[in-house]
Every structure is written in C-alpha cells, then in structure tokens.
Chain A
Amino acid sequence: MKLPIYMDHHATTPVDPRVLDAMLPFFTQEFGNPASRNHAFGWAAEKAVEQARQQVADLIGATPKEIVFTSCATEANNLALKGAAAMYGEKGNHIVTCVTEHKAVLDPCRQLEEQTFRVTYLPVQKDGRIDLRELRAALTDKTILISIMTANNEIGVLQPVAEIGAVAKEKGVIFHTDAVQAAGKVPFDVNQVQADLVSMSGHKIYGPKGIGALFVRRRNPRVLLAEQISGGGHERGIRSGTLNVPGIVGLGKAAELCRTEMAGEAARLARLRDRLNEKLHQSLDGIYVNGSLEHRLPHSLNVSFAYVEGESLLMGINDVAVSSGSACTSASLEPSYVLKALGTGDDLAHSSIRFGLGRWTTEEEVDYVADKVAAVVRRLREMSPLYELMKEGADLSKQRWTAH
C-alpha cells in the first residue's frame, strides 16, 4: 500500500490511463481544429469530437446534438442558469434552487438576483433532501427555472430528481440539475429524470480538468439558451470558442468507461464505503453520519466526530487526503453551509470529515484509514476539553461560552 492515500474523490479524480491514452494523439499528430471544415486535420478532429459527444450522450441517455462542451462544469452551470434566465426572462423572473447547491449554482443565482430575478432557496430536511411539497409551494406563474443538484458534493446525498423533474414537467418549468458528482457514478437518464439542462464535469469522472458539458434538451420541450461566450458560433451558437479537442476526447472516453463499468464499480464502492462506516462506528462513540445513508452516492461518506475539530483531525491523519467542513480549512472562517443547512450544529460541522472513495481505492486502504482516523480521534479527544466536560456529565449546550 502506498502512502499518502487519496480519499477525496469529490474534489477531483485522477485521469484514468485509458482516458489519457485516448487523449494523447490529439495534442500532437491529430491537432486539428474541428472548425477547419476544408482539410483532413479539421475532419479528424471533428470526427473525434463527434465520437466523444456520442459517448457523453450515451452516459445520460441523451442524443449527441443535445451535448454542448464547455470549459468546466462551473461554466456549464453559469450557461444553464444565465442562458435560460436571459432567454425566458420575459416569461417570468422567478428561479427555484436549494440552499445546499454548489457555489457554481448559488453565485450565478445571486448575480441574477441583482438583475430582475427573484430566487427561492429551498431548505433541506435533516437527511439533506428537499421536501417536494415545499418545491410545489414555491412555484408561481412567474417561475421559469428549477435548479436542484442530483448529488451533493459535500455529503453525497442524492436529491429526488425524478420527482422534481415530474413537478417541473407538470408546471411547464425548465429543470436544470448539476449532475457533476452523480453522472457516471450512479444511473442517470435525462428522460427518466425529465431534466432539461444537465451539467457535467470531466475531472470528477476520471477524465481531465478543463472540460465540462451541458445537456440542453432539444425535444419536449426544445430548450433555448442565450449564449454567454460569443465569438464564432461554435457548439450550435450556444458556446463559442475553439473546442478543447483533447479534453473533449478525454471526457468522452471517461464517460464511456463510467457507463460500461458503473454497475460493478458502484457495488464495489458501496461495499467499501459501508465497511469504512462500520469500522468507524465500531471503534468510536460520538460519531454521526451527515445526510441520508440510503439516498447517497456509493463512494461517499461524511462523518462528524464530536469533540474533535476537523482541521486538527486532518493534520493528525496527514498521510490520508480527505476534506473537512471545518471553518479552519476554508477561507471563509464559517463552517460548511451545507452541514449547517442540515441542522447539524456548528460544533459538529467543525468536526466533519468527507471521505470520497474512488476507482483505485482498496479494502486495505479503507482499513488503514479507519484505524488511523480512530486513533487520531482518540488522541485528540484526550486533549479535548469538550470531551472531558461530556465525560464529567456536563451539558455542553448549557455551558456558557465566550464566542469570539
């Protein structure tokens, strides 16, 4: 087993060597611009791009013409939200999203609010999922767009996207879902979900960074977007800019591998994830899984270790790469807004660790991580005044603290 162990696959994933092999020729020999319509270099590049478009479409049950390549998923989210808002703004000025969305959805929503749009941020329940009754209640005759992610990047919780899609369809509202964490990991079909706009990323699915895709529905209904980057009319006029051919080829290959290997891989990862969770629970008391265990990505686990602060835990397990919802690990000095939205107390949000297993995670690594985390949590609890107070029988919620 090699150290350090990477267990942060929600942040990014390594490029699969098979993906890299597919990409390499397009940096050197096959370097053509697919927009060059009158020579063999351009044709070869265009053929590769169209093959990748088919591979991406196949992963999500779409048709190739419905796939628009972007520079990343953040751009795809911006294009979906701002593009739809600009195109349908005359029909209505209301957007519904959710408090636990990624910043790549929340920040564009904030920008739209500075224009003429009104945005409803739905709360989530304790399990991290929205309440469909609240979604229905939020919709008005001015609502043009619902944007709810398929799976959350911090807690891995799956939203009821098929049910949301049905509500959107019934009300004639466009449904965008950020499927960056879910696509390629769990079955996702644009027609089963009735999604109109779907954002995806290359580097979350063992493809390269710097490439994303947006599914834009062409039938029932045909969704139109106002372009956000202009200059040449590439990608059917929705997204200009010379195509990143190696990146697109990589995304296509990554999508194909995810599709063909998904069933076995999801089952393997779920077993390893459950093993990690069980081992942690066997070794430690005072630990809490954040978000629904039932509706969750198979490779995802987010746990709070009470009485221990997350950044110090990360420092203690320095040969394991994971993330924490602790404020100390972010620039904001605020603990994770996602965990706060779940109703997790700020103290437990500071104590959270996100484990993201991946394609090359082994059982040996899982066992090592579980043992290491348990040992460090025990050591830090011996140093923790909160753990000591709890052992003395004090009620920490009644203690008078000096907030600073």
Chain B
Amino acid sequence: MTYSPKVIDHFQNPRNVGSLPKDDPHVGTGLVGAPECGDVMKLQIRVSPGTGVIDDARFKTFGCGSAIASSSLVTEWLKGRTLDQALAITNGDIAHELQLPPVKMHCSVLAEDAIKAAIADYQRKREANAAATR
C-alpha cells in the first residue's frame, strides 16, 4: 500500500487528537465502527452556544493510516462550520482530498458517519435539555 502525501502528513502530524468533556451539553460525541472490523472512530464537536458554529473538534481513531487521516482531516474541516454546513461534508470530499484508493473508501465513509453521529448526539442532548427546562 502506498499512501498519498496528505495521508502520511495527517498520520504523522494528526490534528486535534484528544477528547472533549462528553457530558458538556454543547458537546456532541460520535463513536462509529467496530474493533472486529479494524476501525473505530470517536469524533467530538463543540457547538458555540451563541453562534451555533462548531468551535472545536477532536478525534481518537483505532484504524489504519487512512482512517486516522480521514478523521484528522474532518476535525480541521468542521471547525468554523454550522451544523448544516458540517452535514454537507461527504465521504467523497474526504476521499478526494486524501486521494484514497478504492480499498480505503470505507475509511472516508466512516468519517462521514462519525460527523453525522456527533451532530445527532449534540441534537439529542439539546432536545433533552429543552424538554427538561420546559
């Protein structure tokens, strides 16, 4: 397997590795994949209460270099986006940017799933909070 320079860069210098407090009402957490499949991604976003814009994103990934690079890349892309703009990111965008070969397409699919899962978690929390304060 040869890797594109961008995959190697993200693998060697991953952006935004780490965790945000998952109980924070402004944080959404997505955990997708399965250990027996060889990749698990945890993607977290924090949404600014004032603007509704994602102001922080973190990841931790168990997976191949392309999976790590895909999640690292999306943390960069997510910062500064609204949720609608975040949902517009597709696996094709990720695969294109990283020049992933066909056998690595599932890494980009997983990263897209992680974005959707993190946003869904954030929205679930907001609705639960709204219901509690009502």
- In whole angstroms, how far apart are the Cα atoms of A327 and B61 in the complex? 16
Contact partners of B67 in chain A: CB under 8 A: 309, 312
Structural contact, A350 and B35, CB atoms closer than 8 A: yes
- In whole angstroms, how far apart are the Cα atoms of A309 and B63 in the complex? 5
- In whole angstroms, how far apart are the Cα atoms of A328 and B1 in the complex? 9
A384 and B113 in contact (CB under 8 A), knowing A311-B65, A403-B34?
no
A404 and B109 in contact (CB under 8 A), knowing A309-B39, A311-B1, A385-B40?
yes
Structural contact, A312 and B63, CB atoms closer than 8 A: yes
Contact partners of B77 in chain A: CB under 8 A: none
A346 and B65 in contact (CB under 8 A), knowing A383-B60, A401-B40?
no
Report B49-63 CB contacts with A as 1/0, cut-off 8 Å: 000000000001111
Q: How close is A353's CB to chain B, nearest CB, in angstroms?
A: 14
Contact partners of A308 in chain B: CB under 8 A: 62
Structural contact, A326 and B64, CB atoms closer than 8 A: yes
Closest residue of chain A to B110 (Cβ to Cβ) is A404
B1's contact among A329, A347, A386, A387, by CB below 8 Å, is which?
A329
Structural contact, A384 and B37, CB atoms closer than 8 A: no
Contact partners of A383 in chain B: CB under 8 A: 14, 17, 60-62, 68
Q: How close is A304's CB to chain B, nearest CB, in angstroms?
A: 12
Q: How close is A334's CB to chain B, nearest CB, in angstroms?
A: 10
Contact partners of B8 in chain A: CB under 8 A: 315
Structural contact, A309 and B33, CB atoms closer than 8 A: no
A360-404 residues with Cβ-Cβ distance < 8 A to B are 382-388, 396, 401-404
Q: Does B42 contact A (CB under 8 A)?
A: yes
Q: How close is A26's CB to chain B, nearest CB, in angstroms?
A: 37
Structural contact, B64 and A311, CB atoms closer than 8 A: yes
Contact partners of B5 in chain A: CB under 8 A: none
Structural contact, A346 and B106, CB atoms closer than 8 A: no
A346 and B3 in contact (CB under 8 A), knowing A309-B62, A312-B65, A404-B110?
no
Contact partners of B34 in chain A: CB under 8 A: 401-404
B30-49 residues with Cβ-Cβ distance < 8 A to A are 31-42
Structural contact, B37 and A385, CB atoms closer than 8 A: no
Q: Does A202 contact B (CB under 8 A)?
A: no
Q: Does B19 contact A (CB under 8 A)?
A: yes
Report A283-303 CB contacts with B as 1/0, cut-off 8 Å: 000000000000000000000
Count of A-B residue pairs with CB < 8 Å: 91
Structural contact, B106 and A404, CB atoms closer than 8 A: yes
Closest residue of chain A to B36 (Cβ to Cβ) is A346
Q: Does A247 contact B (CB under 8 A)?
A: no
Contact partners of B32 in chain A: CB under 8 A: 402, 404
Q: Does A206 contact B (CB under 8 A)?
A: no
Structural contact, B62 and A307, CB atoms closer than 8 A: yes
Contact partners of B42 in chain A: CB under 8 A: 385, 388
Contact partners of A403 in chain B: CB under 8 A: 34, 36-37
Structural contact, B17 and A402, CB atoms closer than 8 A: no
**Most chain-A CB neighbours within 10 Å: which of B11, B19, B40?**
B40
Report B80-124 CB contacts with A as 1/0, cut-off 8 Å: 000000000000000000000001001001100100000000000
Structural contact, A315 and B11, CB atoms closer than 8 A: yes
Report B1-22 CB contacts with A as 1/0, cut-off 8 Å: 1010000100100100101000
Structural contact, A386 and B113, CB atoms closer than 8 A: no
Closest residue of chain B to A318 (Cβ to Cβ) is B8
Q: How close is A67's CB to chain B, nearest CB, in angstroms?
A: 39
Contact partners of A347 in chain B: CB under 8 A: 35-36, 38
A385 and B106 in contact (CB under 8 A), knowing A309-B39, A402-B113?
no
Closest residue of chain B to A327 (Cβ to Cβ) is B38
B3's contact among A315, A382, A402, by CB below 8 Å, is which?
A315
The 4 closest A-B pairs by CB, nearest first: A401-B34, A346-B36, A347-B35, A385-B42
Residues of B in contact with A (beta carbons under 8 Å apart): 1, 3, 8, 11, 14, 17, 19, 31-42, 60-65, 67-68, 103, 106, 109-110, 113
What are some 28 contacts across the A-B interface (CB < 8 A)?
A308-B62, A309-B39, A309-B63, A312-B67, A315-B3, A326-B38, A329-B1, A335-B38, A345-B35, A347-B36, A350-B36, A382-B17, A383-B14, A383-B17, A383-B61, A385-B40, A385-B42, A385-B62, A388-B42, A396-B35, A401-B33, A402-B32, A402-B34, A403-B34, A404-B33, A404-B34, A404-B110, A404-B113
Q: Given A309-B62, A346-B37, A396-B35, 13 more contacts at CB 8 Å?
A: A312-B65, A315-B8, A315-B11, A346-B35, A347-B36, A347-B38, A383-B60, A385-B41, A385-B61, A401-B33, A402-B33, A403-B34, A404-B113
Residues of A in contact with B (beta carbons under 8 Å apart): 307-309, 311-312, 315-316, 326-329, 331, 333, 335, 345-347, 350, 382-388, 396, 401-404
